[in-house]
Structure 1
C-alpha cells in the first residue's frame, strides 16, 4: 500500500539552544494517506501502514510523550495487537529507532533502519525502492529544509518503482514535521504539515505545495511581520 520515512535530527538554533526535529513523509496509490499513516509530536515520529491500525500511530506518539523509548513503546503496542502480522510500524525518537514488518504484509515488503531514520514499504516493486529512499535521505545536504529532503526521499523511491499497483492511478502523499523550537501547530511553519489527498502526481504536487507554502510564508512576513509581532506581544502580555 505504502512507503514512508520517519526521521529525527538535532540542531542548534540562532540563540544557541539545542533543538530537535521529527518528521514523516509517506505516499501510496490510494487517496488520503495523510489522514491514516503519519504521526509526529515533539518527542518522535511514527508511521503505521500495510493493514493500517491508526491507534498504533496515535498511541505510539502519546507513549513517546510519556517518556517511553520508541522501541519499547511500539513493541508494546504490537504485542497487544492481534493483527500485528498484517502491520508495518516504524518510527524514531530522540535516541533510537524501531521498524517492524509483519509476515502477512503484501509482497514486496520490508524496512530499513539507519542513523536517525527508518524506512518501510509494502506492495512495492522491490527492495530497490527502500534503498533509494534511504540513500537519498543519507546523501541530502543538512542545510536543506527538512520537508524538502523528505519529499526528495519519497521522489527517489517513486522513481525507482514505488508502489507496484500501476492500475491505481489516484494516489496521495503527505509530510508532517514537528520542531521543538515551535511544537504548537498553531505557531509552526505552514510548510510543516502538508497533504495531497488525491492526485495522479502526488509527489510532484506535494513538492509544488511545499514550495508555494514557503513562498506564502515569506511574502506574509515581508508584508505583515510587524502585525504578527504585535499579536505575539499582545498574547504574551495577557499571560499572568
Structure 2
C-alpha cells in the first residue's frame, strides 16, 4: 500500500526517506532517520518498532543488511506481510519484502539507497524510482533527489489503489532550523488528491524559508543595492539606524531569518523584498 525510498546523500552528510501511499498520514508511520546513523522505512503491515530498533542497530555499526535481518528475525508478528528499507552511513542499503505482501510488491537496493513498494501498479514503479535515483547523482541536495525519485514512482503508477499522502524526512548534523537541530526537512501531506506534487511544492517553499543562502550568490549591501534595500525597508515600515538590523527585523516577520547574512543580501531575499513579501507565482 506504499512506495518509499531511503537514502543518503552523495557526500554522506545527509540521510532521509521519501514515501507516498493511499493511506492517511503515511509520514507519521513509515519514516525515521537519525543524523550520522541512518534512515528506515517500515510499511505494508508496518511494524513501527522497526524504526527505533533499526536506528539503534545502525548506531552500533551494524550494516544495513544485518539490520534488516535482525529486524525480521526478532519480529514475532506477521513477517510475511512486512516490508522495510534501511540505509546507513556507508555501504549498500537493504530492503525486505515479505512473501505475503499484496502484489505487486518488491524492492531494489544499492550503494546508499533502498527502494520498496507494495500494492503497486507494477514492477515499473520501483524500476523507475531506481532509475531516477541513479540519474540524480549530481544533485547535491538529498531532499530534492528523494522527491525526484518519488515523483518517478508516482508517474509510473504508484499505489494501484490511488493517491492520498506523501512525506519527506531528511536529517543532517546541525543543518536544522537555526543550527539547533539535525532535522533538515520534515514535510508531510496527510490527505490530498495529488500528494507527491503537493510535497514537491512544499519543498520549494521550505527551500525559500529554511535553507541557508549560497555564499557565492550573496550581493554586498553597498552602493545602489544598499540604497534600494533601505528605501524598500522604509516603505515597509522597517527603517532604522542600521541597515543590517532593519533588514533582519523585516526578514524575521517574513520568516526569512535563515537567509540573513550581515553586510550582504541573498538574491531570494531581495526578490521577496521587491515583491512586498508576496510568495512566488507558481501558476
Q: Same fold (TM over 0.5)?
A: yes
2:206 corresponds to: 213
1:92 corresponds to: 87
**8 Å CA contact 2:5, 2:146 repeated in 1:** yes
* 2:55 equivalent among 28, 49, 61: 61
List per-residue Cα deviations over 1:34-72 (Å, max 9, x = no partner): 110111112111110000110012211122123322222
Work out the CA distance in 1 between the residues paired with 2:259 and 2:9: 29
Secondary structure at the counterpart of residue 46 of structure 2: coil
Judging changes above 3 Å, is the alpha-carbon distance between structure 1 residues 181 and 119 closer, same or farther for their aligned structure 2 residues? same
* 1:193 correspondence with 2:189: no
Give the CA deviation at 1:76.
1.1
1:234 corresponds to: none
1:70 corresponds to: 64
List per-residue Cα deviations over 1:100-131 (Å, max 9, x = no partner): 10011000000101221110000001000000
Between 136-145 and 96-105, report the one with greater CA deviation: 136-145
Work out the CA distance in 2 between the residues paired with 1:115 and 1:210: 25
2:169 corresponds to: 176
List per-residue Cα deviations over 1:56-96 (Å, max 9, x = no partner): 12211122123322222221121121321110011111223
Q: TM-score, normalised by structure 1?
A: 0.82
Secondary structure at the counterpart of residue 125 of structure 1: coil
Work out the CA distance in 1 between the residues paired with 2:209 and 2:200: 14
Structure index of larger Rg: 2
Work out the CA distance in 1 between the residues paired with 2:122 and 2:47: 24
Give the CA deviation at 1:9.
2.9
Give the CA deviation at 1:197.
1.1
Judging changes above 3 Å, is the alpha-carbon distance between structure 1 residues 190 and 160 closer, same or farther for their aligned structure 2 residues? same
Secondary structure at the counterpart of residue 27 of structure 1: strand
Judging changes above 3 Å, is the alpha-carbon distance between structure 1 residues 158 and 69 closer, same or farther for their aligned structure 2 residues? same
Gaps of 5+ in 1: 12-18, 227-240
Secondary structure at the counterpart of residue 133 of structure 1: helix
Work out the CA distance in 1 between the residues paired with 2:63 and 2:176: 19
Moved over 3 A (4+): 180-186, 188-191
1:127 corresponds to: 123
Cα RMSD over matched residues?
2.2
**8 Å CA contact 1:190, 1:214 repeated in 2:** no
Judging changes above 3 Å, is the alpha-carbon distance between structure 1 residues 10 and 140 closer, same or farther for their aligned structure 2 residues? closer
* 1:154 correspondence with 2:191: no
2:45 corresponds to: 51
Gaps of 5+ in 2: 212-255, 263-283
